[in-house]
C-alpha cells in the first residue's frame, strides 16, 4: 500500500487513490466489452454504434478520474483524428468497392469476385467490416466531443 501511494504521488495524477485504482481496473474490461459488442453486432443486440460509444466512454472515464493531460497521453489527438477518419474511410471504402465490383452500393455479395468466399459468407463479413468502421468513427467523435466540451475548446485544461 505504501509503495503504491508513493508511486501514485510520484506520477502526479489526480487526487483520489481509490478512484484511480478503480478506473485502472475498470477501463480494460470496459474496452473488452466494447470490442465484444462490436464483433457480435450481427448476432446479438449491439453493433458498431453502441460498441464505439462504449470504447469512447472508457477514454472519457480516464479523462474524468485522472487529469486531462493523462487522457491526452493515453489517446493522442492526432491518433484520435486518424482513427476516426480511418473508420469513415473503411465504411465508405467497403461500400464503394461493392459498387465498383458490379453490385449495388453496400451490396457485399459483389465482393465475392475479389476474394471467392461465397456470397452468403461475404454478406456476414461485409457487415462486420462496416461495423468496425462505424465503431472507430463513433469512438473518435465521442472522445473529441468530451475533450472539446470539457476544456472549452483549447485542449489544455480539463474539468
Partner 1 sequence: MIWGIDLLILLLVVICAIATITIKDLLSATIIFGVYSFLMCLLWAEMGAVDVAFTEATVGAGVSTILFIGTILHTSRRSKD
Going by C-beta distance under 8 Å and a sequence separation of 6 or more, which residues neighbour residue 35? Answer: 51, 55
x/- letters, 61..100, toward partner 1 (CB under 8 A): ---x------------------------------------
Tell me which of 20, 38, 48, 56 binds partner 1, using CB under 8 A: 56
**17 neighbors 10 (Cβ within 8 angstroms):** no
- Which residue lies nearer to partner 1 by CB, 33 or 125? 33
**Is 47 near partner 1 (CB under 8 A)?**
yes
Count Cβ atoms within 10 A of the Cβ of residue 101 and give its class: 0-12 exposed, 13-18 middle, 19 or more buried.
Answer: middle
Give the footprint of partner 1 on residues 98-117 (CB under 8 A). none
15 is a site residue for partner 1 (CB under 8 A):
no
The residue count for the chain: 159
Give the total of residues touching partner 1 (CB under 8 A): 19
Nearest approach, Cβ of residue 131 and partner 1 (Å): 13
Tell me how far apart the alpha carbons of residues 103 and 108 are, in angstroms, rounded to a whole number.
Answer: 8
Residue 105 CA: distances (Å) to CA of 39, 88, 109, 137: 23, 15, 11, 20
- Name which position in 23, 60, 72, 98 contacts partner 1 (CB under 8 A): 60
Which of 22, 102, 145, 156 binds partner 1 (CB under 8 A)? It is 145
Question: Which one, of 125, 119, 86, lies nearest residue 103 by Cα?
Answer: 119
Question: What is the binding site for partner 1 (CB under 8 A)?
Answer: 37, 45-47, 49-50, 53-54, 56-57, 60, 64, 142, 145-146, 149-150, 152, 159
Amino acid at each position: 500500500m505504501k509503495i503504491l501511494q508513493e508511486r501514485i504521488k510520484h506520477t502526479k495524477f489526480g487526487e483520489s487513490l481509490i478512484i484511480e485504482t478503480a478506473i485502472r481496473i475498470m477501463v480494460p474490461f470496459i474496452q473488452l466489452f466494447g470490442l465484444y459488442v462490436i464483433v457480435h453486432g450481427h448476432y446479438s443486440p449491439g453493433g458498431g454504434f453502441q460498441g464505439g460509444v462504449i470504447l469512447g466512454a472508457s477514454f472519457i472515464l480516464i479523462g474524468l478520474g485522472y487529469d486531462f493531460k493523462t487522457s491526452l497521453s493515453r489517446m493522442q489527438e492526432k491518433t484520435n483524428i486518424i482513427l476516426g477518419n480511418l473508420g469513415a474511410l473503411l465504411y465508405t471504402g467497403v461500400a464503394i468497392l461493392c459498387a465498383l465490383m458490379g453490385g449495388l452500393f453496400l451490396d457485399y455479395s459483389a465482393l465475392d469476385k475479389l476474394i471467392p468466399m461465397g456470397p452468403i459468407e461475404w454478406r456476414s463479413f461485409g457487415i462486420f467490416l462496416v461495423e468496425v468502421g462505424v465503431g472507430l468513427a463513433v469512438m473518435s467523435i465521442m472522445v473529441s466531443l468530451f475533450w472539446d466540451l470539457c476544456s472549452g475548446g483549447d485542449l489544455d485544461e480539463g474539468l
